[in-house]
Amino acid sequence: MLDIRFVRENPEIVKENIRKKFQNAKLPLVDEAIALDAEKRAAESEANELRASRNQLSKKVGMLMGQAKKDPSKLAEAEEVKAQVKANAARLAQLEEMEVKLAEQLQQIMMVLPNIIDPSVPIGEDDSCNVEVERFGEAVTPDFEVPYHTEIMERFDGIDMDAAGRVSGNGFYYLMGDIARLHSAMTAYARDFMINKGFTYCIPPFMIRGNVVTGVMSFAEMDAMMYKIEGEDLYLIGTSEHSMIGKFIDQILPEDKLPQTLTSYSPCFRKEKGAHGIEERGVYRIHQFEKQEMIVVCKPEDSMKWYEQMWRYSVELFRSLDIPVRQLDCCSGDLADLKVKSCDIEAWSPRQQKYFEVCSCSNLGDAQSRRLKIRVKGENGKTYLPHTLNNTVVAPPRMLIAFLENNLCADGSVKIPEALRPYMGGCEKLIPKK
C-alpha cells in the first residue's frame, strides 16, 4: 500500500505505474484518493479548530457565570456563549463522523492501488512476457520415455488419488511408502539447508485473522486463494509467509534486531480457482500441500541485496539435488499489487522438455509493513517502515515432480543425490515395486 502523501505529491508517477501494470481501470482512483484526502484533511483541520475553541469557550462560560453573580447582565452573554458551545459540539460530532467515513473510503482505494514497481522490472501484460535471466545446470532429455509424475509414483505404490477423491474430492492425494518418505525428506533437508544459512526455524500458526490476511495480500489474491473458517474471523493460510510476516503486526522493532530472517514449515491450503490443463493435474496444482518458506524483514536499503540472496538460495538447493533450474524476472503485469519486484525459479521437466515454476521470490517493499503497522525504531529515535521479502524454499508436490523426473533411471529406479541420503536412511536408490 502506498503512502497517501506520495500519491498526493506524485499523482503522475502513480498513474504511470498503473499503466505499466496494465490496470488502466484504476487510473480514476488516483484523483478520487487525492480528492478524498483533501476533504478528510479539511474536516480534520476544522475539527481541531473547534476542539481548541471549545476549551476557550468553556473557560469563558465559567468566567461569565461567575461574574453574573454580581452583574446579572453577564448572564445573557453567558447563555450566548453556551449556545455557541452547543452549536460547535453538534458540528464537531458531524465532522468526526465525516472523518471516519472519509478515512474508510480513502482506505478502500489505497488498498487497491498497486505498489510502485522497481525500475528493473520488465514491462509486459502477463506471464508470457516474463524474461529468462539465467540457467543453472544442463537441461538433459534422457533417451528413454519419462512417464507422467503420478505414473512414476504409482510404480512405487506411492500415491492414491482415487481414495483421496472419495475422502476429500478433487485436488487432494495420499502419498504412501517411499514417495511419502521422500516428501518428508525434502522438507527436512530444506529446513536444515536454511538453518545452515543462518535463518531461524519457525512453525507458525496455520490459521490467521482477517486483518492479517488483508495486511499481507491484495483483495484479488485473497479471493482467489484463501479458505475462511465458517463463523470465525480465521482463514487457513495459503503459505506460511502470511503468518510469519503477521508475527510482527503492530510491533516496533529495534533497529539492531534487523534483519529478521525466518524459515518455516507449514501445510498450505488454496482454493486454486479455475480450470487447469493436463500438465497441472496430479500433484501440481492442489488444495493442500506442505512447504518450507523463507521470509526477511530488513532495512529498506538492504532489501534488494536480500532479494538477490534469497532466490540464489533456491537455486543452490535445487542444484544440490541434481535438478537444473532457471531464473525468470516477472513482468509488470504478472506482479501482484503489493510486489515491487519478483522472480520465479523454474525446474527443468525432462518429460515436457520445458521448465515449470517451483519457487517464487518477492520483494514487497514497505507495503506489508504499512498495512500491518510494523515499524522500526532507528538510532535517532525516529520510526520507519521496514521492507519485507519472501521466497519458497521447497514446495514438495512440485519439487517431487522435478525430483522424480530428473533423477529417474532407465530401469525405473530413482537415484537419491548425496545431499538427501541422510534424510532417507542412507538410501542411494529407490526401486519400483511395479
Summarised one tens digit per residue, pLDDT across range 365-406 is 999 999 999 999 998 889 999 999 999 999 988 999 999 999
The model's pLDDT over 272-307, given as tens digits with 9 standing for 90+, comes to: 754 444 445 667 778 889 999 999 999 999 999 999
Give the mean pLDDT of 110-129. 96
Please say whether the structural domain 127-430 has been given the CATH code 3.10.20.580.
Answer: no
Report d(CA 95, CA 71) in Å as an integer.
37
For strands 414-415 and 252-254, give the pairing: unpaired
pLDDT reported for residue 74:
61
Asked if residue 66 has pLDDT above 60, the reply is no
User: Is 115 within 8 Å of 1 (Cβ atoms)?
Assistant: yes
Write down the pTM of the prediction: 0.88
Q: Which set of grid coordinates corresponds to residue 275?
A: 480450470
Asked if residue 82 has pLDDT above 70, the reply is no
User: Is 61 within 8 Å of 81 (Cβ atoms)?
Assistant: yes
Cis peptide leading into residue 259 (ω within 30°): yes
Report d(CA 137, CA 139) in Å as an integer.
6
Report d(CA 49, CA 66) in Å as an integer.
26
User: Is 210 within 8 Å of 233 (Cβ atoms)?
Assistant: yes
Asked if residue 217 has pLDDT above 60, the reply is yes
Do 4-110 and 127-430 share a fold? no
* Per-residue pLDDT band at 177 (split at 50, 70, 90): very high
N residues, the chain: 434
pLDDT reported for residue 86:
73
End-to-end CA distance of the chain: 54
pLDDT reported for residue 73:
62
Asked if residue 413 has pLDDT above 90, the reply is yes
pLDDT reported for residue 81:
62
Please say whether the structural domain 4-110 has been given the CATH code 1.10.287.40.
Answer: yes
Give the mean pLDDT of 6-12. 96
pLDDT reported for residue 80:
67
For 277-316, b/e burial (b = at least 16 CB within 10 A) is eebebbbbbbbbbbbbbbbbbbbeebbbebbebbbebbbe
Domain assignments of the chain as residue spans, ordered by start: 4-110, 127-430
Average pLDDT over the chain, rounded to whole? 91
